[in-house]
Structure formats: C-alpha cells, structure tokens
Chains A and B, each alone.
Chain A
C-alpha cells in the first residue's frame, strides 16, 4: 500500500518538527496569533455588516439634513411638505433626536422625540413607548438603566437637565431589553413635546427629515432632486448607511495594520527567514537523507508535510480561538479599543454570521504561501547531488 510510505514520511516530519521544539512552537504560536487576529476581524466585521443589512432594511430611505456654512443645522418642518411634492415620495416626516451628555455618569445618551405609536407586543420592549403628546414619561435602553437607574425597572424616575439648567423628571414607562442593545442601548425615547421642551427647540424645526420613497430604485434620483431643489440640504441614503457599515471592513486594514503591525512583522520576518534559505544544518540533513536513499520527491514531500503541519495546526487553532473570542467572549480583546471612553457600550453579543468565502481567502493567503515558502527553498538543496555531504 503506497499510503504507508507517505505516513512514514509524515512520521519523520513530525519527529523533525519535535526536534526543533522551541523554534517550531514559536512559529506556530506567532502564526496562530496572526490567524486569530485576522480571523477575529473577519468574523467581527462580517457579522456587523450582515447585522446592519438585516436591521436597517426598513430604516428611512433618505434622511435629509440641513446644512448651514457646512454644518448640520435644524431643518424647517415645512420643507417636508415641499419634499412630499416631489413625484415618487411617499412620506416625509420630521425626526427629533440629539445627544445628551450626562456629566454625572460621564456618558453620552441619544435622546429621541417621537410622535408615533407602535411597538405593541414587541418582545424587545418591556412596558410601552411614550405616546405623542404625553409629558414626563420615557422609555430607555437597558444600558442607561444600568448606568443611571438604581431600581433598573419601570416606575423609576430619570432626571434630565433642560437647556435652561432646570431638572425635568421622567417616569420610566418602558425599557428596551438587552437583546436589542445593539440598537437601543443608549436611547432615551420621549414624546416630541418633551424633547422640544428639553432642548428648547425653535418651533417649526426638526433635527432632520425622514423621507420614504415608493420605488426603491428611484431613491438616488429623488435624492438628486432634493439636493437640486434645496441646495443647502444633505440627503443621506439608506444605501450609504449600509455601506458605512460595510466600511467597517477597514478593520482589516485599519486595526491590523496599526495595532497588530508587530505580530504581522514578526510573522513576515519568520516567513522571510524560511523563504530566503535553509540553515546549513537543514541543508546537511537533506544531503544525508538523499545520501541514504531518499528521492528528491520524498524530501519535497517531507517539506510539504512540514508546511502543512505547521500552517494547518496554526490555522485550525487560530480560527477556533477567533470564533470563541468574537462570539462567546464578546470580542474582549477588541472591546477596549472599540469602546474608547464611552460609558454605555453594548456587550457585543453578535450573531455569528460567518463568511466562508473570507475564511477560505484567509486560508489561501496564509497556509498556501507558508507551504510554498517551506518547499521552495528546499527545492535547490533537494535537487543537488547527494555527494555534497561527502565533500563536506
């Protein structure tokens, strides 16, 4: 059975690897680390991207912001009526939202004034949303409840300081549960009236306008028309929202290149070291093997196995650790970097969407070059006549 021969060669290869235990363990460690980091980034960015695509499929088609001197400004609500006049627009309504800096907790919240009803029987929301003109009530995200509310439950009171510095009380009527934290963690949802009062918003203005369109394919055309008719506006397309999350892919180039450049450099140096030549010892060993009756192909097979063992071991370990890191341990290594100094920050319990295409690419850009860099330098040593060992 020809199989036995290959197994024998693999046996010998493993023995050779064990012989240089520390060197090879070092290579496997660095290699595993590189795979782990790149794999983590692939897992994280892909699952974020998929999540964005799934979640924002029903977010407004176009958001229209008003710009003044290049800065985002409050938009007149009446602009909505004009936009409604553009053919193809189904709806253009104001959005009221902004940020609230809580100096006590040193946290930024997102405050949202709503005039809609809804979210009844939504499993993500315990309690209810404030209704359009109801005063003094709010629904909050679990993150805020954890930071601010002692009781952490419905019925507690939340105090916010208005634009004049006076305190406003909000009775908590709803809490968004942690399953929706990626959307709602830092939200304070109140009625439109409360919002306007809290931030002293001039009447007849809104933060921006949410525009919906009948035919999805016309979104860019309508955005173009809005921009044409109201040159001081800035329409933001839902595509761009989703594409922004696609751009989270710059993780790969961004994080890896900056934060993990050390590991990458170490790995490249190792690969370079292997690719540029064999040590005299290795060369002599190849000579000995040839002299005692190994063929060139046997030696190359040994080197092939060597590459396979090192790179496959590293790849499998790295990818498994990366998966555990991202999807079981909440990306704890990246979290501090992502978190910055924000106080409210979701747990990153991401849904494990896996992109097999990218994993396959990762496999082919790490494992295959590594195997090649093990085999190619030994090629020259393997094809020379074995009498080199006799000549010393």
Chain B
C-alpha cells in the first residue's frame, strides 16, 4: 500500500525522461556553439594555410588519388592508381569526383 502511493506515476517517469533528454540536447547544443566559436578563431589560420599552399582538398582518406584529392581526380578511371588496384570502397563510392560539366553553365558558390 505504502509502496504504491510513494511510487511515481509512469507518465511522470516518461515526462522526466523526455525533459532529461531535452536538457542533454540543450547541453550538446551549447557545446556545439562553443566549439564552433572556437573553430572560428582558428578558421583564420586554416584559411591562410589553404590560400598559401593553394590546397584544394581535405585529408579524409589517403588511400588513393581520388580519395585524397577527389576534386582533382579523373572522372573515368576507377582503377587509376595501378591496374590491379581494387576500387577503394567505401571511400571511393562515398566521395565522388567533381562534375566537370561547367561549360555553358552558370554556377555560384553558396
């Protein structure tokens, strides 16, 4: 009898769970804002490196030319690195080479 009365209602527990989740999400959001603002401080230096070294790609994977520099790769040669090379799954299929259909097309950044 006592036990029953003292026990939380199930709906209360559910509401507590949902509220807790939202609190965690809020904390994560604040964390992301802090990281982003920290990143913006570093950004100037990073952009300077890109400009100075004329870089074009991120170091996401260094397997092969078309995964290290996806933007600089050929469109057509899947086995471009050496004839026996297998396709670099999954990086190769995840990051495709760029679309070179620029001619006659107007393209904008952002």
Contact = CB atoms under 8 A, between A and B. Distances in A.
Given A99-B65, A343-B62, A58 B47 contact: yes
Contacts of A163: none
A123 B45 contact: yes
A241 B102 contact: no
B36 A241 contact: no
A245 B58 contact: yes
A29 interface: no
Interface residues of B, number: 71
B11 A11 contact: yes
A316 B25 contact: yes
Given A108-B63, A181-B59, A343-B62, A320 B25 contact: yes
Given A7-B11, A14-B10, A236-B72, A352 B35 contact: yes
A2 interface: no
Contact of A239 (B49, B58, B68, B108): B108
A184 B47 CA distance: 12
Contacts of A339: 61, 91
Given A227-B103, A340-B88, A52 B62 contact: no
Interface string B15-37: 00110011011001101100110
Contacts of B91: 338-340
Contacts of A342: 61-63, 67
A392 interface: no
A110 B68 contact: yes
B24 A320 contact: yes
A185 interface: yes
A223 B21 contact: no
Contacts of A186: 59, 62, 68
Contacts of B18: 312, 316
A128 to B, nearest CB: 12
A86 interface: no
Interface in A22-54: 48, 51-54
B74 to A, nearest CB: 7
Contacts, number: 237
A327 interface: yes
B42 interface: yes
A244 interface: yes
A319 B46 contact: no
A21 interface: no
Contacts of A343: 62
Contact-residue size bin, chain A (C-beta under 8 Å from the other chain): 35 or more
The A interface is mostly helix, strand or loop, or mixed, namely: helix
B52 A118 contact: yes
A189 B29 CA distance: 38
A157 interface: no
A346 B10 contact: no
B2 interface: no
Contact of B50 (A48, A59, A224, A341): A59
A107 interface: yes
Contacts of A112: 53
Contacts of B47: 54-55, 57-58
A197 interface: no
A244 B96 contact: yes
A116 B9 contact: no
A255 B59 contact: no
Contact of A352 (B36, B50, B57): B36
B106 A317 contact: no
A46 B96 CA distance: 16
Nearest to A217: B108
A60 B56 contact: yes
A116 B52 contact: yes
A118 B77 CA distance: 36
Contacts of B108: 217, 239
14 contacts: A11-B9, A53-B109, A72-B74, A123-B42, A220-B105, A227-B103, A236-B56, A255-B94, A259-B90, A316-B21, A320-B25, A338-B60, A338-B91, A352-B35
Q: Which 8 A-B pairs give the minimum distances between C-beta atoms?
A: A352-B32, A316-B21, A240-B98, A14-B10, A342-B62, A58-B51, A351-B39, A185-B59
